[in-house]
Amino acid sequence: MGAIKKALARLGEKLSMNRTKLRYARKRRKYTNRRAIANHDKALRYRAAADVARANDRPRRAAKRDRVAQRCSGRAQDFSEKSQWWVGQIKMRIRKIEHLEKSVAEKQAEAEAWRKKHKVKVDGNKVTGGTRRQRLKVAQKTAVANCASGKQNNYYSMHGGPRDYQHTLEGYAYGRIWDCSTYGDGLYLVCGLEAPSGPNTPTAGGYTGTQGANGRIVKEADAKCGDLVLYGPYPHHHVEIVDDPDRKTTTGHGSAPIDAGIFDLFGDGDYVIRRYLND
């Protein structure tokens, strides 16, 4: 009994430590995200002021405003990158607390089991068979397993070349935009469905704002696999995809890997669930 009590005490300590670190990560993410937005807005104001100065034939003032705008843009990008790093820390702590961590073999076995159960075929980056939601479910499991095994390139970027939607499951090209909304839209596209951002997504691209402008809001109790969870006020700052509505778990690309999360990812209850399929 003594050994059991000690083991339970150690588990309790680990849980408490993870919860403390989760609270800290959420605070740092909120702070860095707020600073990123503030610097971005400041850069826009100074660019507008520079344009006014140029229109009034005041080149020196315009140049000065442009320099300030450039510095603000640089700071906005730095804070944005820090913010996304904290998203990764948040998801890591949540997986430990909610017991969502699995080995590579377990993730691959889970993806294969879902594929066989629903008679869904995964051929590289093309998912066919089953119902639409079954395809989305299998695609999520496959994306997580491929990231864990190295079949998918694990990086996160809001900058770079055009989005590589056709490689959402594996082989995503380096040097391109590869962020949370890209994963959400891409998952639908590889399943042969219209992207949440709309029919022009494959060529025009999308982001959380276009995802938030389409579909319809549903109650949390009515959430289904494949619905999107959009965080913060419109145009939103992050998106995850509903995986298991009963456990309120998600998958998303908020940091380098595609991995598991939960509905209330940031612990503030500030999120909406949107549906894009009529079933």
Q: How many beta carbons lie within 10 A of that of residue 184, not counting itself?
A: 28
Radius of gyration of the chain (CA): 21
By residue range, what is the domain housing residue 66?
2-96
pLDDT digits (tens, 9 = 90+) for 168-202: 999 999 999 999 999 999 999 999 999 999 999 99
- Per-residue pLDDT tens digits for 35-84: 999 999 999 999 999 999 999 999 999 999 999 999 999 999 999 999 99
Residue type, 258: I
CA 76 to chain centre: 19
- pLDDT value at position 7? 58
Q: What is the pLDDT of residue 15?
A: 73
90 and 114 belong to one structural domain:
no
Residue 245: is the preceding peptide bond cis (ω within 30°)?
A: no
Contact criterion met (CB below 8 Å) for 218 and 227: yes
Residue 120 shares a structural domain with residue 200: yes
Structural domains of the chain, count: 2
Task: Give the end of a domain, one of 50, 77, 96.
Answer: 96
Regarding whether 186 and 242 lie in a shared domain, the answer is yes
Question: Does 218 score more than 90 pLDDT?
Answer: yes
Tokens standing for residue 40: 């971005």
Mean pLDDT of 248-257: 95
Mean pLDDT of 153-167: 95
Coil, strand or helix: which one is 157? strand
Is the whole model's pTM more than 0.95, yes or no? Answer: no
Angle between helices 104-117 and 132-149 in degrees, nearest 10: 160
Residue 248 buriedness (CB in 10 A; 0-12 / 13-18 / 19+):
middle
Residues 235 and 145 in one domain: yes
SS3 for 56? Answer: coil
Residues 61 and 171 in one domain: no
pLDDT above 80: residue 219: yes
Q: Do 43 and 102 reside in the same domain of the chain?
A: no
Q: How confident is the model at residue 11 (pLDDT cuts 50, 70, 90)?
A: low
pLDDT of residue 1: 56
Confidence of residue 228 (pLDDT cuts 50, 70, 90): very high
72-77 LR contacts (CB < 8 Å, sep 24+): 72/39, 72/40, 72/42, 72/43, 72/46, 73/39, 73/40, 73/43, 75/35, 75/39, 76/36, 76/37, 76/39, 76/40, 76/43, 77/36, 77/159
Q: Is the pLDDT of residue 13 over 90?
A: no
Residue 4, SS3?
helix
Domain boundary among 37, 71, 96: 96
Give, to the nearest 10 degrees, the angle between helix 132-149 and helix 180-190.
130
Q: Are residues 120 and 202 in the same domain?
A: yes
Q: Specify burial of residue 25 (Cβ count, 10 A radius: 0-12, 13-18, 19+).
A: buried
Residue 5 pLDDT greater than 90, yes or no: no
Residue burial 190-202, b: 16+ Cβ < 10 Å; e: rest: bbebebbbbeebb
pLDDT band at 6 (very low <50, low <70, confident <90, very high): low
Q: What is the pLDDT of residue 10?
A: 64
pLDDT surpasses 90 at 279: no
- Out of 96, 116, 148, pick the residue that ends a domain: 96
What is the CATH classification number for the domain harbouring 239?
Answer: 3.90.1720.10
Asked if pLDDT for residue 8 goes beyond 70, the answer is no
Query: Quick one: pLDDT at residue 134?
Result: 97
